[in-house]
Amino acid sequence: MQILTDQSLDLDQFMIGLKRRNPGEREFHQAVYEVAEKLIPFINQHPKYARAKVLERLTEPDRIIIFRVCWEDDQKNVRVNRGYRVQFNNAIGPYKGGLRFDKSVTLSILKFLGFEQIFKNSLTTLPMGGGKGGSDFNPKDKSDAEVMRFCQAFMTELSRHIGKDKDVPAGDIGVGAREIGYLYGQYKRLENEFGGVLTGKGLAYGGSLIRTEATGFGCVYFAREMLDTKGDAAEGKTCIVSGSGNVAQYTAQKLLDLGAKVVSMSDRTGSIHDPDGLTQEKMNYVIELKTGRRGSLREYADAFGVSFLEGARPWGIPCDMAFPCATQNELNGDDAKTLLANGCMLVSEGANMPSTLDAVKAFEDAKILYAPGKASNAGGVSISGLEMTQNSMRINWPREEVDRRLQAIMHDIHAQCVEYGQDDGFVNYVKGANIGGFVKVADAMLAYGVV
Ligand code: NDP
Ligand code: 2IT
């Protein structure tokens, strides 16, 4: 039962204030709404959080750094981009979260990502705060030399604000092994320091085994945990995976390993529909095509004689399980209804906030197994956390050890969702992840007093 006091929060009033303070930041409003909707009833049952204004403080970043990034392209033209780092909350550990390089990057997108990261990182059980950064730089149509010069210019400013115990960036969309190499090289040059200031590093210079695979593998391990609660398994299930970048590739790979059938992947140009399903040979082709040559999936359709849905997302293809692994708001309410009508019984998000609020509502109402990204894609940042541990200890764990720890962490995240997500005999994973992620951060904030 809720005891309302004059300290109690009201969702509509809270959102009006948030929108007034952060005008026009649509993605940030959306991410906060999804969390606040689940947290406010919980906070009103625990007035110590309301009294200390924990939600108001959690939705205001500790600081945001915005800077000019100036570099020269191959034709010697001067180019100007905008760089950002949102240091959202460090109550339980150094700021931790990826860097996104994409022409769509705005402050709103990085604030939504940094906000989500607070809860995700708390769920991992590791000591990491929440942050995110990036730039509106598009690495897709640039030469290696241009990407290197951009990364060096970006890190020249960012290096003043990060540190292995302060803020530890990593990859995200448009930031993979190549970019992390250039960023780390410049940090090392500027600071004359070899430490764990970035994660996702190459194995030759302090990276962890399984970091590349971790987000995708973790997303499927989380799906396996959800299926377990129904006595079910992935084997033989038809799956669609959106995206074909880092997260999508290793989600598809783990699904193959578990005997599931992956019939679609996608990119910005469209989706493939391969009714026979990916094989290991086709999977290797996707990795070489997307990470090696940075080409379009259209080439896959030509190479294997399957259909290519030009400019389309894959949600119309019938499946048992869906894994949105491309980007935010790539699955809307109509897509969710189509998936449900086709019999989809599980959605495990590899991307951050891929489902719109309408889609989330449709999945909740249908009571399918639906995992929000902050729970199901936490495997990546978890292995980033373990990369930091290995760097501090000056050791490298073998592949089996890291994979075993990843599976244990995904199991623990699932257990927290089950503990906090109970809803009339059904596990609401959105509620579970939001409340489960909140409690540790909020208790640390209470311990610090008014800061
Ligand atoms: P990549 O850059 O490796 O891949 C992104 C993929 O998504 C590409 O296939 C890209 O298509 C596609 N894509 C991107 N934007 C759009 C768009 N607007 N419309 C259609 N397709 C799009 O990024 P990641 O795999 O690292 O990241 C994917 C998602 O996972 C993001 O939401 C990210 O925040 C999240 N994530 C990533 C983690 C990580 O460890 N990397 C950890 C946790 C979450 P194209 O190939 O045509 O560019
Ligand atoms: O969204 C995410 O969790 C990431 N992009 C990974 C962050 C990290 O620090 O590894």
Domain boundaries, the chain: 11-57, 63-194, 214-371
Ligand whose nearest atom lies closest to the CA of 132:
2
More confident of the two residues 358 and 425: 358
Backbone angles phi, psi at 118, to 5 degrees: -60, -45
Give per-residue pLDDT as tens, 401-448. Answer: 999 999 999 999 999 999 999 999 999 999 999 999 999 999 999 999
243 Cβ below 6 A of ligand 1: yes
181 contacts: CB under 8 Å, gap ≥ 6: 201, 202, 205
Give per-residue pLDDT as tens, 258-315. Answer: 999 999 999 999 999 999 999 999 999 999 999 999 999 999 999 999 999 999 999 9
Average pLDDT over residues 109-131: 98
pTM of the complete model: 0.98
Give per-residue pLDDT as tens, 12-45. Answer: 999 999 999 999 999 999 999 999 999 999 999 9
Cα dihedral: 150, 297, 335, 340 (round 10): -130
Distance CA 441, CA 341 (A): 39
pLDDT score of 114 more than 80: yes
Beta bridge partners of 424: none
- Please state the separation of Cα 366 from the chain's center in Å: 24
Quick one: pLDDT at residue 12?
98
CA-CA-CA-CA torsion sign (434, 437, 441, 442) = positive
Average pLDDT over residues 322-340: 98
Cβ-contact 206, 200 below 8 angstroms: no
Quick one: pLDDT at residue 5?
61
Which of 132, 237, 374, 440 is flagged as catalytic? 132
96 Cβ below 6 A of ligand 2: yes
- Report how far ligand 1's centroid is from the alpha carbon of 450 (Å): 38
Distance CA 55, CA 299 (A): 48
Compute the mean pLDDT over every residue in the chain, rounded to the nearest whole number. 97
Q: What fold is seen in the domain 214-371? A: Rossmann fold (3.40.50)
Cβ-contact 222, 375 below 8 angstroms: yes
Question: Ligand 1: which of 104, 210, 246, 331 to mutate, judged by most atoms within 8 Å of the beta carbon?
Answer: 246
CATH, range 63-194: 3.40.50.10860
Distances (CA, A) of 283 to 254, 255, 315, 417: 11, 11, 20, 32
